[in-house]
């Protein structure tokens, strides 16, 4: 999987493309939420997705308004796998 990595987190390319389509206010809100995951990748609001994994790593999700951020933790890096509206993210 090709990812863009910086400052303790990495994005899958499809996440970056999706972020470009969002309104600037929503994009900032989502990016702020991802940055908050770096010091604490398992906040009380995160949930593990049952029955889904990424190469044996559990997938977690956090909420940012009507959007969901799906990610895995690999060592000290938070890898963002998908960002989408809550109605579409699990499809």
Mean pLDDT to the nearest integer, 15-27: 92
Q: In this predicted structure, what is the pLDDT of residue 67?
A: 93
CB distance 84 to 67 below 8 Å: yes
Six token digits for residue 88: 């579409």
Q: Which residues 6+ apart lie within 8 Å of 45 measured at CB?
A: 62, 63
Residue 90 has what pLDDT?
Answer: 61
**Tens digits of residue pLDDT in 32-75:** 999 999 889 999 999 999 887 788 889 999 999 889 999 999 88
Residue 38's pLDDT is 87
Indicate the DSSP class of residue 4: E
**pLDDT-above-90 percentage for the chain:** 55
**What domains appear along the chain, each with residue ranges and CATH number?**
4-84 (3.30.2310.20)
Task: State the average pLDDT for the chain.
Answer: 86
Average pLDDT over residues 10-35: 92
């Amino acid at each position: 999987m090709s990812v863009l990595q910086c400052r303790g987190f990495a994005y899958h390319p499809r996440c970056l493309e999706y972020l470009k389509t969002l309104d600037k206010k929503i994009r900032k809100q989502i990016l702020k939420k991802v940055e908050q995951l770096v010091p604490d990748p398992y906040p009380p609001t995160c949930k593990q997705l049952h029955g889904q994994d990424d190469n044996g790593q559990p997938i977690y999700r956090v909420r940012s308004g009507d959007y969901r951020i799906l990610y895995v933790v690999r060592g000290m890096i938070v890898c963002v796998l998908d960002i989408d509206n809550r109605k579409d993210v699990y499809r």
